[in-house]
Structure 1
Amino acid sequence: MSEAPAETGTPDQPTGEELLALFTSMNAGTLGERMGIEFLEASPGRVVARMPVEGNTQPYGLLHGGASVVLAETVGSVAAALHAGRDRIAVGLDINSTHHRGVRSGYVTATTTPLSQGRSVATYDVAIVDDEGRRVNTSRITCMLRDAPPQAT
C-alpha cells in the first residue's frame, strides 16, 4: 500500500493515513475485501484503490466487467462519504460503466474525480487503468447523501 501524504488531521478532517486505516477496516467482511480491493489514497477530493485481476475473471480469463463496476462503486461511494462528512452517509443512486479493453493479469487501479459535489447528491468519474496505465474502464457513479441513522445502543 502506498503511503498517504503526511497531513495534520483535525477532529473534522482526519489525516490521509487515518482515512486509509478507516476504509481498510470498514472493508473487512465485505464484497470489496473478498475481491481484494486495497485502498491506496483517500482524501475528500480523490480516492484511489486497486484490485487484483486474478480471482476476478470471467470464464474467458479476462477481468469480469462486474468486478470493474464493484471497484468503481467502491471508490465512488468512499469519495462521496468523505464529501458528505462524519454525520452523513452516501448511498449509491446510479452507476454506469464502459469497458474499453480486456485485462488478463496484474492489477487494475481506480481513481475518482468529482464531477459534482452538492449537499444531497455527489457524482464522480472513475477511471480504471491496468498496470501499464491503459484505460480499462470508465464509470460514473452518483450517490445520494443522507443524514446517518441513529446508532443502536
Structure 2
Amino acid sequence: MVSYRVVPVVPLSLVKEEVVLVDPDVKLYDSVTAGRSGRDEDEAKFHVGQKVKLLEDIVNDGTYPHSTIGTLMMPKGSIGYIKTMGDFLQVIRVYEVHFFGTDMPIDAVGCREHELEAMEDYVDEMAEEIAFMKAHREKMQREREEREAQI
C-alpha cells in the first residue's frame, strides 16, 4: 500500500524568516579560548625535555573525564618536564608536562605557556651535535689537505 503525505505549498514571497544567532547585548566569554594565542609567543617558549615549574594551580576544566570539574590536578610550584607539545583548536599551544613525585592522581597535565616558567635554559642537543660534526669535518679536511701538501 502506498501512502501519501500532503505538504502545503507557500509562495516564497510570503515566507519571512528571522534568525538571531546571538543576542547582541550578551557578552560571551569562554575561559579556554578567550585569551587564545594572545599569551602565546610566535615560536614555542619551551622545548621537549625542558624542566619547568607551574606558576598557578591546574584544575580540571572538563577535559579530564575521571574527576569533577574544578578538581585540583596539579598544585602551583610543581616541577616537571615537557613531554610533548601540540595545538588545541590550531591556535592554542599546549604543553604536556610530566610531573614526578607528586601525590596527585595523575602525573601528566596539559599546560599553557603563561602557566609555566623555565627552571633551566634549553640546550638544543641537535644543534650542538651538528656544530660538533661540522667542526670535526673541517678539522679532518684541513689535516687531509696538509698531508696531501706534504706528499
TM beyond 0.5 = no
TM-score, length-normalised on structure 1? Answer: 0.23
Rg larger for: 2
The structure richer in strand per residue is 1
